[in-house]
Chain A
Amino acid sequence: MFDKLMRALFPSRRHEAARVDPLIVKSLVRGIMTARPDEIGCGECFEELDCFVEMKLAGRDVTEAMPLVHDHLQRCGPCREEFEALLMALRSMA
């Protein structure tokens, strides 16, 4: 189904349509559905990420303590990828 959507979005590259990850389309729909006015951007998220990851490591409820950073990490793939890598590094070195 998502391939069909991609063919519609990118009509002259039908042979490449299958490369689109359906999860990205689903994520877009959810991102639209849940868009909120107070979302922070990647820059603000990065500023707070060291505190956020330490809270996470300390077992604190990050959704409560830093809800906007948590929200951004749910929405932004590159920021989430970096957060998970940082968490892995710090956990492994503890």
Chain B
Amino acid sequence: MIDPSAVREAQSTPDRARTNEEWIGALGQPGPEREAALEDLRRLLVRGLGYALGEQPGLRQSDLEDFAQDSLLRILKGLPNFRGESRFTTWAQKIAVRVAYTELRRRRWRDVSLDELTESREGGAEFIPSELADPSLGPEQQAMQRIILETLLRLIREDLTDKQRQALQAVLRGMPLEEVARRMDTNRNALYKLLHDARRRLQKRMLDQGLSPQDMLAAFGN
């Protein structure tokens, strides 16, 4: 947990108000103005991360400082990509949140391999439809869920590529996209696209089987 006094200390330091142009101008050239802007931005990011990550277990104040420092490097490198469509500080805070969450997810999942989360069904137990029944649902909804899940399982096995199936299994086990992507030598965006293709394929095949989106909505609710 974050030390509240450290957040208060950061809060007590007034941020120098700058326009977007002033931020870009100050950060774009080496010298004392850039150093001052970097220090102001660092404080701002630490303060923002304190709010953004306050509930994360095991987080230390030094983590916030480290995340802010890493973010400053990313921000300086990415300055040419800032389009000026938002406040500069919002754009910078967005990068800091991404940097922080990427590291936190890496830490949380660092000891888990993809093999532990994904495995072949070959030789495994068969899927037993009668075990699917959920007594809290009505018989019609139970039956429809059973049909949908049976069909889905079969289509996942038969219609997806090995990569799609592997990624889907890992995500079903709760592994964040970027951690799955890291282990599959790809990136989060490409993995989302891979899974998007898989969902589209499964949707089409479900429709081919006579299962409509309306059927699925009715069976699984909102």
**Interface set of A (CB-CB < 8 Å, partner B):** 1, 4-13, 19-21, 24-26, 28-35, 37, 39, 41-44, 46, 49-51, 53-54, 76-78, 81-82, 85-86, 88-90, 92-93
Contact = CB atoms under 8 A, between A and B. Distances in A.
Contacts of A53: 86, 90, 94
Interface of B: 44, 47-49, 51-53, 85-87, 90-91, 93-94, 97-98, 101, 105, 119, 121, 124-128, 131-134, 145, 148-149, 152-153, 156, 168-169, 171-174, 176-178, 188-190, 192-193, 196, 199-200, 202-203, 206, 213, 216-217, 220
Most B C-beta atoms less than 10 A away, residue of A41, A49, A76, A82? A41
Interface SS majority for chain B: helix
Interface SS majority for chain A: helix
A89 B51 contact: yes
A6 B174 CA distance: 12
Given A43-B188, A78-B188, 4 more contacts: A8-B125, A32-B216, A44-B189, A50-B90
A13 B119 contact: yes
A22 B173 CA distance: 10
Contacts of A54: 86-87, 90
A90 B213 contact: no
A39 B189 CA distance: 12
A89 B217 CA distance: 35
A81 B101 contact: yes
A14 B105 CA distance: 25
A23 B144 CA distance: 18
